[in-house]
A and B are shown apart, each in its own frame.
Chain A
C-alpha cells in the first residue's frame, strides 16, 4: 500500500512537471498530484481497519469452535463446522485451527477412519509446528481405534522422530506417551505400558492436566492384566476421580473389563449430580 501511494505520487508529480503549459490545466494537475495519493492513503487506512475487524471476528468464531471441542459439544460442532468450513476464511491459520477442531470432532463422534484421513491430509498440506504433535497423536489414536496396529506403530515412530527433529529436549510430549501407552495396552505389552506410565506420569499431569486420568486408567488396565489387582484398584480409583467409568470406556473400549472388575472412586453427594467429574 505504501508503494502504491509512492508510485501514484511519482506518476502525478511526473504529470505535474512534464504536462501542459496552460495555467488552469497545470493547477488541476497540481491538485490531483496531492489529492490522489491522499485519497489512496485514506482508503488504505479504512480498508486495513475493516480487514482487521473481519479477522478478529473470524478469530472469535474459531475460538468458539475450539472451546466447544474442549467441552465435547460434538453435536453442536457438527453443524457449526459445516457452516464455518463451507465458507472461505480470511486467514489460513484460522482455517487450519478449524480443521483441527474438525478432526477432534470426527474422533469424538467415532468416525475414526475419516479422522485419520483428515489428519493425514492436513499433515500433508503442512500445519504450524504447535499443531503437528496433537494432530499426529490424534491420528495414532484413530488408527488404534480402527485396529490398524502396524500403521499406528509407524505413525508413533514418526511422532517420536518429529519430536527429535524440532529439538525439544526433556520429556517426550505427554500426548506421545499417552498414545504409546494405549498402543502397549491394546497389544498386550502391559509391562511396557506400566514402565512408560511410571516414567511419564508427572509430565502427563503437568501438560495434559486432568487427562492424566486416561494414563491412570490405562495403567490400571495393564496392572489388572498382569494380575496386580491391588495396584489396579488404586489406579482405577484415582482415574475415576476425574472421569466416570463410562467415559473412560467410551475413550478406550478395552477398559470395559477393568471397569466391570474394579470399583470407582466414591464421589461426595454434592458432586454426584451435574457431571462434576
Chain B
C-alpha cells in the first residue's frame, strides 16, 4: 500500500530539515576551524560562523512559528471540529521545519484526526511515523495507543495482540488506561472471549468513565454483545441503554450492524421519538 500524502509530505520536510541542519552545522564548524586554527583569514571564519548562527536562529524561529500556528488544532480536535483541525495540521506538515522530529505532536494529532475520520490505515501509518521519531516517552506511548486503536478498528488481531502486550508494560494515565481497556474489550469480543469481557465489570465501568462519548457508547455495545452471548438479558438492555444515551444511535447502528435492531429499539422512545 502506498503511503498517504500526509506521510509523504512529512517525510519531505523531515529530509529537508535534516539536510538544512547538516549544512548549518558544517558551516559553523568550518567557520570555527578557520577562526581557531591558522587555516586562513580569521575574519572570514568568524563571518561564516555568524552567518550560520543567524540562519539557524531565523529557521528555528520560523519552525517554532509553524508549530505555534498549529496549536489550536488540539482544541478543534477536542471539540470535534475535524475540518478545521485537518486544515491546520496538514498545512503545518507541509511547511519547512528545522526540527521536523520535534513536530511529533502535530503528527500524532493528525493520526488521531484520521482515526476520528475512520481512516484507520492512514492513522496507523502516521502513528508508526511518530514512533520512528525521537520523542518523549508520553508521546511515544500515545502514538502506540493511537496505532493500537487503529488496528483494533481494522480487526488486525495479531497486531492488536502485539500492541496490547507492548502497552501493558508502559505507565499510562487513567484516560489512556481506559482507551487500552476499550481496545482489549474489542479484541476479546472478536475472539468470543465473553467471560473475559464481563469479568470485573463494575471496575471496568468505573475506568470507562474516562472514555470519550463515542468510544464509551461503542464499548458498551461490545459489552452488550458479550452479555447477550452469556444470556444476561437484563444486563444487555442496560448496556444498550447506556450506549444510546451517550452515543449517536444512527452511527452506532452503522458500526455494529448486528445490534442495530436493539439500538433502534432503545433509541426510539414511544413518546419523544428518536433520542
Contacts and interface: CB of A to CB of B under 8 A. Distances in A.
Interface of A: 6, 9-10, 13, 17, 33, 56, 59-60, 63, 66-67, 70-71, 129-130, 166-171, 173-174, 202-203, 205-210, 212, 216, 230-231, 234, 238, 241-242, 265-268, 270-271, 273-277
Interface of B is mostly: helix
Given A166-B72, A207-B78, A56 B137 contact: yes
Nearest to A243: B209
**Of listed B79, B206, B212, B271, residue having the most chain A CB within 10 A:** B79
A174 B71 CA distance: 20
A169 B84 contact: yes
5 contacts: A207-B78, A207-B80, A241-B245, A265-B241, A270-B202
A129 B80 contact: no
A9 B32 contact: yes
**Of listed B80, B206, B216, B246, residue having the most chain A CB within 10 A:** B246
Contacts of B138: 59
B209 A210 contact: yes
A12 to B, nearest CB: 9
Contact of A173 (B79, B137, B238): B79
Contact of B205 (A63, A231, A277): A277
A268 B234 contact: yes
Interface stretch (B9-17, B121-129, B168-176): B168-176
Given A168-B81, A207-B213, A270-B235, A66 B173 contact: yes
B238 A268 contact: yes
Interface in B142-186: 171, 173-175
A274 B245 CA distance: 22
Interface of B: 32, 35-36, 38, 49, 71-72, 74-76, 78-81, 84, 136-138, 171, 173-175, 201-203, 205-206, 209-214, 216, 232, 234-235, 238, 241-242, 245-248, 269, 271-272, 275
Nearest to A13: B36
B213 A208 contact: yes
B75 A168 contact: yes
Nearest to A33: B36
Contacts of B209: 70, 209-210
B75 A166 contact: yes
Contacts of B79: 168, 170-171, 173-174, 203, 207
Contacts of A13: 35-36
Given A166-B75, A168-B75, A170-B81, A63 B173 contact: yes
Contact of B242 (A17, A202, A231, A242): A242
Nearest to A266: B238
B241 A167 contact: no
Contact of A67 (B38, B74, B173, B242): B173
Contacts of A267: 238
A176 B272 CA distance: 26
A174 B246 CA distance: 14
Given A56-B137, A206-B214, A270-B202, 4 more contacts: A167-B72, A170-B80, A171-B80, A271-B235
A234 B35 CA distance: 81
A270 B201 contact: yes
A174 B78 CA distance: 10
A274 B49 CA distance: 67
A242 B239 CA distance: 11
B109 to A, nearest CB: 12
A275 B206 contact: yes
A268 B238 CA distance: 7
